[in-house]
Chain A
Amino acid sequence: MLGVTKKFPGITANDNITLQLKKGEIHALLGENGAGKSTLMSVLFGLYQPESGIIKKNGQIVKVNGPNDATKLGIGMVHQHFKLVHNFTVLENIVLGCETIKNGFLSMGAARKKVLDFSQEYGLEVDPQALISDITVGMQQRTEILKMLYRENEILIFDEPTAVLTPQEITDLMVIMKNLTNQGKSILFITHKLNEIQAVADRCTVLRKGKYIDTVVVAQTDKEKLSEMMVGRKVTLEVKKPLIEPGKVIVDVNGLTVKNRLSGKNIVNNVSFKVREGEIVCIAGIDGNGQSELVYALTGLMKADNGCIILDGQDISHTTVRARGLAGMAHIPEDRHKHGLVLDYNLAYNLALQRYYEPHFQNKGFLRYGEIYAYADGLIEKYDIRSGQGTKTPVRSMSGGNQQKAIIAREIDRAPKLLIAVQPTRGLDVGAIEYIHERLIEERSKGKGILLLSLELEEALGISDRTLVIFEGQIVADVDPQDVTYQELGLYMAGSGRKEAMA
């Protein structure tokens, strides 16, 4: 891709970007959210037509008018959110769209052999007969890779492939990627995780705000340089936090259990832990091991079947969401669009969402606009929330990072005793992650108790004072982040370290 420029109304998403992928290399594409990575890929797939610039393959200028043209050129992509049919088997998903048909009937024999050959050749272990809904995320990803191989694609694009994987699965994926390039495939690897680029990529192209910054050989650079190129300024990757001796217990959770309404199985199974003043406790685990339900039960969005929650000496096990908020609990939710924001309200209304009922903001049931907007202006200034029209901006039109900042501003400003932050940095870029970690540590320094739920190992070990691991609804490990390795933690998260942890 040479000199590609794509303009959108009011913004230049790609400004004269050149990306050259060599045969047999792993080429990383690095950039923050909104740097223009997705636009560039959409241009490559013919979803957008660039204003200027050309795409060449093997020295020939090619015209890509749509995804079908891209497929013909041998370009395939593993999307961040897999495109699989859940009630089909692995094999059916792989052949979907290019089935071999004999006399009007599907003929799967040849396809199965081809798939099995591929999986041997590249070390892609799958069971072709298994249903997608029954297999792990890692296997689903392998299915996606096999789909590309089955179509004999030569250029494989991985869009943030590691976001959903466990550390072990990530290591496996890296091996697979190396195998693929050894067999002559070329890989474009979209990511904003610097570790992975260092582990696997040969070269790296950095984009920032739609502009091409540079292409570097990974072996000749380091993480600090890469992140500086990506963000445009120096970023502290290491989280620095002052030493604090934890104070008294803020929250004491004992034997918390949530049952599945249908199966009766315990989704949250007898969970007990304590969070003290000035302490960040992280609950790490792979997505779907009961974290969401645990948080719902803690915050009152879901009724717990058993157990009790003591917040600052007060039993809040059976109180409402509002009562828990008033008792000193704040909650940065996992899904900011589902729970955190009313997207159709403006920024000021969203910033008042947890406090609108306080006497300061209402008078005999009538909202006090002046106070609400003044309060919002204060928060916008203090927390540097950026938006098009200030307090009046519909939140729907704001960027993800600023939406998250708005939630964090709102929750921290309630001056809570306990702050529950669920994946507060999900989907955010390095700059915003740094900002959020700083805020959390600032709250810790003020003596707040912080419960952090995270899927990211770096986060789980980097900023927390204590790390618990949740697996199938149970706390299976309680470790000091100082003396545990990623590998160990990964084993706990996958459930295999369970016995030792319990012993």
Chain B
Amino acid sequence: MSELKNKPAHNKGFWGLLDLSNALSSFVAIATGLVVGFFVLLISNPADAAVGFTTLLTSGVSDLKNMGQVLYFATPIIMTGLAVAFAGKTGLFNIGASGQFIVGAYCAILVGVRCSFLPGIILCPAAILAAIIAGALWGALPGLLKAWRNVNEVISCIMMNYIGMYLVNYLIILTVYDQRRNITRAVATHANIPTWGLEHIFKLGNSPSSANGGIFIAIIAAAMMYIILEKTVFGYELKACGFNKNAAEYAGINSKRGIIMAMAVSGALAGLGGALLYLSGAGKGIDVVDTLAMEGFNGIPVALLALNNPLGVIFSGLFIAYLTVGGFRMQLYNYAPQAVDMIVAIIIYFSAAALLIKGFIQKIGKNKKIRAKGDA
């Protein structure tokens, strides 16, 4: 009993993490975004708006294959969402998840293609580990610059995104290039993450979805992040740095080390996301094009919508993936893919107001409570 009693208010166990007012504000943000999105549909194509909107909202659960696709699309953005959330908890803005993601993905593919002589039980973990290390290094560099030279991490992260993209493009051509398709070579089949039977559940007829064990790894990563932040000395120090760097230094916490470690862990999460996407067994490879990996940037709204809560990141990642799957289906109704992107963007935009709405809800709640007390 005393164990229970002694837990802090913000730490009511794993499920208590979903503080009601926090969850409520995220839902209000989503609902507002959906309503505005519907109006955009009405403007662009009034005739099909209702059916198109229904498709957007329902196709994620329309059949088991689509549900599997939601899991598949959610996996990488949950990881980048965790990366952004972890940095955010320590007062840093990691906008470099895109670069960390792609160097992680490249290293996973490199191991998956070049070390195919290894047995699957070693090869797959080795590829994942390579991605984690690469992502961590890519994240640690802006951390180092911030800690020792006070370079704003946003600037250096953006630069690292481009350096990562072009470096990976260059290295792909040197090492794992499929010239015919301008893409990376396929990894050895036994390098892929096992599906753990998911292909038997999430399928339509004989056509399985791309769902795979990566989603479990993402959920485990979220749980580990929660444990690190809430239960360990390391997390206590990192959060202290994030909340009040001066007080952390006053207490003898090495804030420089904290910044570097936080960025490294954040980068490792994003790098792992790269491995989970490209080792998914869906036959996906890195295209050699001059575009930054979108998964990295999608992590920002995922983290935002979850208010940096690791458990929330799982749900917000699933939600955005759900909209993405719905968006594919909407193209059946003459909606340009851009319109779909726009609606998703609008929902994301409104999610940015989540914090604002949260404050508003809390204020109303407080006033009500006090008024009730005053009447009594």
Which residue of B3, B9, B240 is within 8 Å of A370 (Cβ)?
Answer: B3
Q: Tell me the smallest distance from the CB of A329 to a CB of chain B, in Å.
A: 10
Query: Bound state CA distance, A389 and B366, in angstroms?
Result: 16
Which residue of B3, B247, B367 is within 8 Å of A353 (Cβ)?
Answer: B247
A325 closest partner in B (C-beta): B252
**Interface membership of chain B positions 229-256, coded 1 if the CB is closer than 8 angstroms to chain A and 0 otherwise:** 0011110100110011011111111100
Q: Hey, which chain B residues are within 8 Å of A322, CB to CB?
A: 252-254
Q: Hey, which chain B residues are within 8 Å of A339, CB to CB?
A: 246-247, 249-250
Q: Hey, which chain A residues are within 8 Å of B366, CB to CB?
A: 9
Are B233 and A343 in contact (CB-based, < 8 A)?
no
Q: Is B180 part of the binding interface, using a Cβ–Cβ cutoff of 8 Å? A: no
Q: Tell me the smallest distance from the CB of A2 to a CB of chain B, in Å.
A: 24
- Number of A residues whose C-beta is below 8 Å from B? 38
Are B249 and A349 in contact (CB-based, < 8 A)?
no
Are B233 and A362 in contact (CB-based, < 8 A)?
yes
Query: Bound state CA distance, A345 and B247, in angstroms?
Result: 11
Q: Is B374 part of the binding interface, using a Cβ–Cβ cutoff of 8 Å? A: yes
Are A345 and B240 in contact (CB-based, < 8 A)?
yes
Q: Hey, which chain A residues are within 8 Å of B233, CB to CB?
A: 356-357, 362, 365-367
Asked, given contacts A342-B240, A356-B233, A370-B6, whether A9 binds B246 with beta carbons under 8 Å apart, the answer is no
B253 closest partner in A (C-beta): A322
Q: Tell me the smallest distance from the CB of B240 to a CB of chain A, in Å.
A: 5
Q: Is A212 part of the binding interface, using a Cβ–Cβ cutoff of 8 Å? A: no
**Interface membership of chain B positions 251-292, coded 1 if the CB is closer than 8 angstroms to chain A and 0 otherwise:** 111100000000000000000000000000000000000000
Q: Hey, which chain B residues are within 8 Å of A389, CB to CB?
A: 9
Which residue of B3, B8, B231 is within 8 Å of A392 (Cβ)?
Answer: B8
Which residue of A338, A349, A367 is within 8 Å of B231 (Cβ)?
Answer: A367
Query: Bound state CA distance, A382 and B374, in angstroms?
Result: 33
Q: Hey, which chain B residues are within 8 Å of A10, CB to CB?
A: 370, 373-374
Asked, given contacts A9-B370, A356-B233, A389-B9, whether A338 binds B247 with beta carbons under 8 Å apart, the answer is yes
Are B246 and A338 in contact (CB-based, < 8 A)?
yes
Q: Is A244 part of the binding interface, using a Cβ–Cβ cutoff of 8 Å? A: no
Which residue of A340, A346, A349, A394 is within 8 Å of B250 (Cβ)?
Answer: A340
- B interface SS class: helix
A374 closest partner in B (C-beta): B6
Q: Hey, which chain B residues are within 8 Å of A299, CB to CB?
A: 250
Q: Is A354 part of the binding interface, using a Cβ–Cβ cutoff of 8 Å? A: yes
B231 closest partner in A (C-beta): A366
Query: Bound state CA distance, A220 and B304, in angstroms?
Result: 63
Which residue of A343, A354, A370 is within 8 Å of B2 (Cβ)?
Answer: A370
Are B236 and A367 in contact (CB-based, < 8 A)?
yes
Which residue of B2, B8, B374 is within 8 Å of A349 (Cβ)?
Answer: B8
Q: Hey, which chain B residues are within 8 Å of A367, CB to CB?
A: 231-233, 236
Q: Is A492 part of the binding interface, using a Cβ–Cβ cutoff of 8 Å? A: no
**Interface membership of chain B positions 357-376, coded 1 if the CB is closer than 8 angstroms to chain A and 0 otherwise:** 00000000011001101100
Query: Bound state CA distance, A348 and B243, in angstroms?
Result: 16
Are B252 and A321 in contact (CB-based, < 8 A)?
yes
Q: Is A155 part of the binding interface, using a Cβ–Cβ cutoff of 8 Å? A: no
Asked, given contacts A365-B233, A367-B233, A369-B7, whether A321 binds B250 with beta carbons under 8 Å apart, the answer is yes
Interface residues of B in 8-35 (CB under 8 A from A): 8-10
A9 closest partner in B (C-beta): B370
B368 closest partner in A (C-beta): A9
Q: Is A120 part of the binding interface, using a Cβ–Cβ cutoff of 8 Å? A: no
Are A343 and B244 in contact (CB-based, < 8 A)?
yes
Query: Bound state CA distance, A374 and B2, in angstroms?
Result: 10
Are A342 and B231 in contact (CB-based, < 8 A)?
no
Q: Hey, which chain B residues are within 8 Å of A362, CB to CB?
A: 233
Q: Hey, which chain A residues are within 8 Å of B244, CB to CB?
A: 338, 341-344
Q: Is A331 part of the binding interface, using a Cβ–Cβ cutoff of 8 Å? A: yes
Which 9 residue pairs spanning A and B have beta carbons closest together?
Answer: A322-B252, A9-B370, A373-B6, A321-B252, A339-B250, A344-B243, A392-B9, A353-B251, A342-B244
Given A339-B246, A369-B7, A369-B8, 9 other A-B residues pairs in contact with their CB atoms under 8 A: A10-B373, A10-B374, A320-B254, A341-B244, A344-B243, A353-B240, A356-B233, A367-B233, A373-B6
- Residues of A whose CB lies within 8 Å of any CB of B are 9-10, 299, 301, 320-323, 325, 331, 333, 338-346, 348-349, 353-354, 356-357, 362, 365-367, 369-370, 373-374, 389, 391-392, 394
- Residues of B whose CB lies within 8 Å of any CB of A are 2-3, 6-10, 231-234, 236, 239-240, 243-244, 246-254, 366-367, 370-371, 373-374
20 residue pairs of the A-B complex, CB under 8 angstroms, read A9-B366, A9-B370, A321-B249, A325-B252, A331-B250, A340-B250, A342-B243, A342-B247, A342-B248, A345-B240, A346-B9, A353-B240, A353-B247, A354-B251, A356-B233, A356-B236, A365-B233, A366-B232, A369-B3, A370-B6
